[in-house]
Structure 1
Amino acid sequence: MINAQRLLAILAFFPSSFLMADTTDYPLSLNNCGTEIRFSSAPESAVTVGQSATEILYSLGLSDRVVGTSVWFNPVLPEFNEVNAGIERLADNDPSFESVVNRRPGLVAAQYEWHVGPTGSVASREQFHELGITTYIMPADCDTKDNSTGGDGTRTAAFSPAHVYKGITELAAIFDVQEAGEALVADLEARQADAIAKAESLELPQDLSAVFWFSSPDSSVDPYVAGRLGAPGYMMEKLGIRNVIQSDEEWPIVGWESIARSDPDLIVIARMDRRRFPADDIEEKLNFLHSDPVTREMTAVQNGNIVEMDAHAMSATMRTIIGLESLADALTTLSF
């Protein structure tokens, strides 16, 4: 169950128009990432641009409304293998504007503002809205985040799962499935609490430190690592781990020499199916860590304290809670 204090914190993010309602009172209006959106009824269909939106809609029992998906980092959650196999994947990465529009969706649900935003790589929100297609961007990518800085954006405050839960609850309201939304949030809250309790029971070293490596344009060049305010920063803070990267950027580029000087006790590396860069391959990451003259001398590499985590869990998504669980489990098997 969700404790009362946490529940109040989560509810503070939600418009009063649908709080604690059994059914949605249409028309429903929301302020989504700075844009007012309005629904006269539940959308009959949706295209997702981002795995986060896809898996949330599946989790809300709305797979029958999804007519196309795109932007995948990892395989779909196992419980959705069957339903996902029957839904068209428009692209592994960015879909074209035409491919999305051709599905004639009532809603485009996007994980990242840089896909569907002011300079969206797929299209701007205005381009979709001019065609009568409403857009929804997951709040976890814009609440406490400035995406105008370029790249993956900069956090203006620390990520919290409350932003993910806000997205779940708003999508549940949009599609009039509030009960499913409440159940999903409650389940994630309980799993979050269990993972934190597991780490607390381990009596980890006081100054345990880590770095999260997402990818690199090439395994031999400076990596994209997690800043202190994103989803990995949240995981580390909750499990009592110090992030050696103190940047507010979501995924800053930091030199290996600098990381080696910080000498983290733990290295968490992203596992993904995406292949934009050679270092997207986890074997490339492992080979580099063990062969490079700088990284192979790091304490974490010497001690074998390298943890693999699904890349999608390192983003601000529902999967972040799964990442929190997997990291807590990994800590039970490591020695420091």
Structure 2
Amino acid sequence: MLLHRAVTLLATLALPALALAAPTQYPLTIENCGSPLTFQHAPIRAVTIGQAGTEMFHALGLGDKLAGTSLWFNDVPARYKAQNDKVERLADNDPSFESVIGKRPELVAVQLEWMVGPQGVVGTREQFHELKIPTYLMPSDCEGKDNLVGADGTRLQAFSIESVYRSISQLAEVFDVQQRGEALNTQLKASREASTDSLKGKDLSHTSALFWFSSADLDIDPYVAGRKGIPDFMLNTLGIRNVVESDEEWPTVGWETLAKANPTFLIIARMDRRRFPADDVEKKLEFLRTDPVTRNMDAVKNNRIIMLDAHAMQASLRMFDGLETLATAINTYDLPK
């Protein structure tokens, strides 16, 4: 991937500038999703609820700080596997409150507010904070979003990529590894630019797409990406229109409606999770090619189906690899005018 290939070169080029980064001054207080978090020192033990945080820890060289991890969609990238194998997986999906606090973390990093929030399935932030355990909620899931409306929340404002860069910078500051955070953000920005540059000159003015994450059952309406969320940001970055108009993060929309929208591309999630039957990408493909409604969609008839890791559809480091995957795939097609 472009992101992985760029790491060594960009880190080397960035070293002179990053050498001036000041060390963290403790006690450190940061504002996080409406809650001030104070650290007297760099946390020694952390737990992540969400793959995005786990992979950020690894990318920042902090994998040895992880006492537990949970909520996974895809296998960890090969470059992190050896370190990640040493981290206890508390649950493939949502862990129990007791299993998290049992690891005695000095920080819990949370990808999604429905896991730890006002109606968190794991617990509320207050429950953790009463035990003097700070919870760092990824800004990408709390800023400009109402997580009490819709199954996965509703975007009040469009997702901003700056929220991902800020997560990296803030976690780097909490753990006093600012140089690594700045280098990682430099790499991510270069990867994003390379993906958009690869499509320059290609006419995408009539190109649209649909993201299909999963379905509670293959016989009912699928979970698809709404406007203003992360997949919509990916499409806008590449100059492609999302055919779904809902502001919910992952609304359910009927296949008849989606077929009428007739997207140029179908982008379907590939994942190792097996919560629903449609988590299996092969079952998605079989459905699309045999269902009387979906098999007549132009994207299906012309095999304009792109498989993308589910985690790349989240606010995560993998999203940048996802942008490259989409750009590379789209470049292989002669698009209809």
TM-score (norm 2): 0.92
Partner SS state of residue 115, structure 2: coil
For residues 204 and 303 of structure 1, what CA distance do their matches in structure 2 show? 18
Please state how far the C-alpha of 1:41 moved relative to its aligned partner. 1.0
Identity of aligned residues (%): 55
Matches within 5 A, 1:17-32: 21-32=21-32
Please say if 1:99 is aligned against 2:99: yes
Please state how far the C-alpha of 1:335 moved relative to its aligned partner. 2.6
**Shift in alpha-carbon separation, 1:38–1:150, aligned structure 2, 3 A:** farther
Partner SS state of residue 200, structure 1: coil
Superposition CA RMSD, Å:
1.1
Indicate if the aligned counterparts of 2:97 and 2:122 stay in contact, CA closer than 8 A. yes
Please say if 1:182 is aligned against 2:182: yes
Partner SS state of residue 54, structure 2: helix
Indicate if the aligned counterparts of 1:269 and 1:308 stay in contact, CA closer than 8 A. yes
In the alignment, which residue of structure 2 is the partner of 1:111?
Answer: 111
For residues 189 and 244 of structure 1, what CA distance do their matches in structure 2 show? 27
For residues 61 and 298 of structure 1, what CA distance do their matches in structure 2 show? 45
For residues 163 and 109 of structure 2, what CA distance do their matches in structure 1 show? 15
Deviation readout 1:264-288 (Å, 9 max, x if unpaired): 1100000001111100110110000
Deviation readout 1:194-245 (Å, 9 max, x if unpaired): 00000124x1341101100000001121001001111111111111111100
Please state how far the C-alpha of 1:150 moved relative to its aligned partner. 4.0
In the alignment, which residue of structure 2 is the partner of 1:142?
Answer: 142
In the alignment, which residue of structure 2 is the partner of 1:321?
Answer: 320
For residues 154 and 139 of structure 1, what CA distance do their matches in structure 2 show? 15
Aligned residue identity for 2:58: Y
In the alignment, which residue of structure 2 is the partner of 1:47?
Answer: 47
Partner SS state of residue 198, structure 2: helix
Indicate if the aligned counterparts of 2:21 and 2:179 stay in contact, CA closer than 8 A. no
Indicate if the aligned counterparts of 1:200 and 1:239 stay in contact, CA closer than 8 A. no
Aligned residue identity for 1:121: V
For residues 205 and 142 of structure 1, what CA distance do their matches in structure 2 show? 32
Deviation readout 1:122-168 (Å, 9 max, x if unpaired): 11111111111111011111112111214211111111211100100
In the alignment, which residue of structure 1 is the partner of 2:14?
Answer: none
Q: How many residues align?
A: 316
Partner SS state of residue 179, structure 2: helix
Q: Which contiguous aligned blocks of 4+ residues in structure 1 show a shift greater than 3 angstroms?
A: none
Indicate if the aligned counterparts of 2:150 and 2:248 stay in contact, CA closer than 8 A. no
Any gaps of 5 or more consecutive residues in structure 1?
1-19
In the alignment, which residue of structure 2 is the partner of 1:77?
Answer: 77
Please state how far the C-alpha of 1:21 moved relative to its aligned partner. 4.6
Deviates more, 1:150-159 or 1:281-290: 150-159
For residues 153 and 218 of structure 1, what CA distance do their matches in structure 2 show? 21
In the alignment, which residue of structure 2 is the partner of 1:66?
Answer: 66
Matches within 5 A, 1:1-40: 21-40=21-40
For residues 204 and 107 of structure 1, what CA distance do their matches in structure 2 show? 47
**Shift in alpha-carbon separation, 1:205–1:192, aligned structure 2, 3 A:** closer
In the alignment, which residue of structure 2 is the partner of 1:15?
Answer: none
In the alignment, which residue of structure 1 is the partner of 2:289?
Answer: 290
Deviation readout 1:12-51 (Å, 9 max, x if unpaired): xxxxxxxx85211111111111111111111111000000
